[in-house]
Amino acid sequence: NAGVTQTPKFQVLKTGQSMTLQCAQDMNHNSMYWYRQDPGMGLRLIYYSASEGTTDKGEVPNGYNVSRLNKREFSLRLESAAPSQTSVYFCASSEATGTGGVITGELFFGEGSRLTVL
């Protein structure tokens, strides 16, 4: 059981470069999420997709874009990377998201993508 798979696991970028983080889940979940985790801070939601074909902003969306490619896949794109985007990024999925983005059940996380922007 793969669960939630993220690629790449590690990436180093220069300021201004672009890149896409990929995420796929095999649990047939409707909802998918992108979080970032920084030292001394809790997990913060960047974007989420309550269901295939929909995406919404979370707490810290600036500088990011997302695409829900199909039910399994949800990608996160950095168009022009900045040092402030150095972080560990986690993709997660859940069975459903309720009204207003309220997560209705437990989240299943990937192993993370560690991004450094120089």
Partner 1 sequence: EDQVTQSPEALRLQEGESSSLNCSYTVSGLRGLFWYRQDPGKGPEFLFTLYSAGEEKEKERLKATLTKKESFLHITAPKPEDSATYLCAARGGADGLTFGKGTHLIIQP
Q: Which residues bind partner 1 (CB under 8 A)?
A: 4, 40-45, 58, 90, 92, 100-103, 105-112
Q: Report the residue number, 31 or 75, with the smaller CB distance to partner 1.
A: 31
The structure tokens listed for 13 are: 């970028």
Q: Report the residue number, 45 or 81, with the smaller CB distance to partner 1.
A: 45
Q: Which of 51, 49, 53, 4 is nearest to 27 (CA)?
A: 4
Q: Report the residue number, 17 or 88, with the smaller CB distance to partner 1.
A: 88
CB of 112 to partner 1, least distance (A): 5
CB of 2 to partner 1, least distance (A): 13
Q: What are phi and psi of 58, to 5 degrees?
A: -105, -145
Q: Which residues contact 51 (CB under 8 A, 6 or more apart)?
A: 30, 31, 97
